[in-house]
Amino acid sequence: MIFVGSWMAHAEMTIDDGKLKITRTGKPKFVAQVDEITFNGSEALKAGKDVYYCTNVGIFHLTERGMELVEVMPGVDVQADIAAACPMEFLLPESGEVARVPHDVVTGEGFKLTWRNA
């Protein structure tokens, strides 16, 4: 399952030289506690579903450990742009290294869409 949405409401971002820059922060969409449950991630995991949340700053993967930040846009600082702005608790990969979104995905230069079977 893939959910696609923006990182913050009313934020302003630009891409310059293949890097994302948050020029004005907004209201975080990932929160510590929700007012209403419209999707139950725990049940999805129990059913064997892979759940991803794709935002304009990066990609989160729902795991048994919790919400894991697995990829970030070039130019995004995990601590300053994500951790400091996000009330939701999230984890880094067990390696401690968050992958970067490839340059061609950001700029479109040489980008080729292909399908991988898992």
Mean pLDDT for the stretch of residues 86-113: 91
- Nearest Cα neighbor of 68 from 91, 97, 49 is 91
Q: Concatenated DSSP letters for 70-96?
A: EEE-TT--IIIIIITT--S--B--TTS
Q: Does domain 2-107 have CATH number 3.40.50.1980?
A: no
CA angle 48-54-60, nearest 5°? 60
Give me the pLDDT at residue 34, please. 85
pLDDT, tens digit (0-9, with 9 covering 90-100), for 8-35? 999 999 999 999 999 999 999 988 888 8
pTM greater than the 0.85 cutoff: yes
> What are the boundaries of each domain within the chain?
2-107
pLDDT, tens digit (0-9, with 9 covering 90-100), for 67-76? 999 999 999 9
pLDDT, tens digit (0-9, with 9 covering 90-100), for 31-66? 888 888 889 999 999 999 999 999 999 999 999 999
Q: Is the pLDDT of residue 118 over 80?
A: no
Give me the pLDDT at residue 26, please. 93
Give me the pLDDT at residue 88, please. 92
Give me the pLDDT at residue 43, please. 95
